[in-house]
Amino acid sequence: VKHLIDTTSLTADDITQILDTARSFSEVNKRAIKKVPALRGRTIVNLFLEPSTRTKSSFELAEKRLSADSLSMGGATSSVVKGESLADTIETIDAMSVDMFICRAKLAGTPHKICEHTDAVVINAGDGKHQHPTQALLDLYTIRENFGHLDGLKVALVGDLSHSRVCGSLVPALKTMGAEVTLVGPPTFQIADPDYFGVPQTSDLDSVIADMDVVYMLRVQLERMEGAAIPSRREYNRLWGLDMSRVDRMRPEAIICHPGPMNRGMEINADVADCARSRILAQVNAGVLVRMAAMYLLLGGENNGVSA
């Protein structure tokens, strides 16, 4: 694997290697001085053309913890606002001898486009409705840390399936790792392809929730509705939101995930987001570890310095 653009090109061995490497970096995360020299002398460019809190900050922290040199560019503060094309932007930065681009973009396919204009490694940090592979990897890491394995787990992804790049990357990754996936969402938010990774879809959350090990709530992507009718908050919450009465019907050991940012009171209630079953902040913590692992492995690090 040269780039990390999607999860469909990752084998179970690839995923296991990334998760195991992330686990080794968890020791770094616990140190008083959270740094290893693993990517000293490497240069990483964070190109965030769409807003981000978790992904951008965790990539930046991961780069610092690996001792890489980095620079962060946003769409609004670059010459993109003067009309410079993506190709010219990438070739300009590439001419400064960088090793890796991390890219978040509104337009699906942008990371592929970047690969055409640089020999540097490219990591997709979320492209439109397409994919968000490091999100899927941090989700797998969080779930595996909780249960000790991924195979055979029953995982429901609930909510706005069709606008979700989290769904697009997590479903194939879960399937590759042997989990059983069920998709739950309003009929208007379901995936149009009836053969989508061979995964069943239903609109009835109450019929499946008691059988799941992981209930993964998806954000309603209000910014991607593109003129479609936006459901009322109250009605959505009544039919597809995770409230305490539904949580009380979950298996005793079952956990709750959400990629963030949350629409509290819509897809997930505030008391549920903060309850003991919630792994939402564990997911955020895993984001730094998994991104350290992905950058380290893709840049060919040989000694991750954890034991140094």
E strand or H helix at 181, and its extent? strand 180-184
135 among annotated binding-site residues: yes
Site size toward ligand CP (CB under 6 A) is 10
What is the spatial distance between Cα 217 and Cα 290, in angstroms, rounded to a whole number? 21
Please state the closest distance from residue 260 (CB atom) to ligand CP, in A: 5
Per CB under 6 A, the segment of 53-61, 68-76, 109-117, 191-199 that binds ligand CP is 53-61
| Site string (110-149) toward ligand CP, x via CB under 6 A | ----------------x-----x--x--------------
Q: Give DSSP secondary structure letters for 42-83.
A: -EEEEEESS--SHHHHHHHHHHHHTT-EEEEEEGGGSGGGGT
- Which residue type sits at 145? E
**CB of 82: closest distance to ligand CP in angstroms?**
26
CA 85 distance to own-chain centroid: 27
Return the residues of window 249-278 that contact ligand CP according to CB under 6 A.
259-261
Which stretch, 5-13, 49-57, 201-209, 239-247, contacts ligand CP (CB under 6 A)? 49-57
CB distance 123 to 4 below 8 Å: yes
Place of tokens 């010219």: 88
Six token digits for residue 177: 């790792």
* Nearest to ligand CP of 208, 284 (CB atom): 284
Q: Which residue, 168 or 301, has its beta carbon nearer to ligand CP? A: 168
Q: Residues in the site for ligand CP, rule: CB under 6 A?
A: 52-55, 126, 132, 135, 259-261
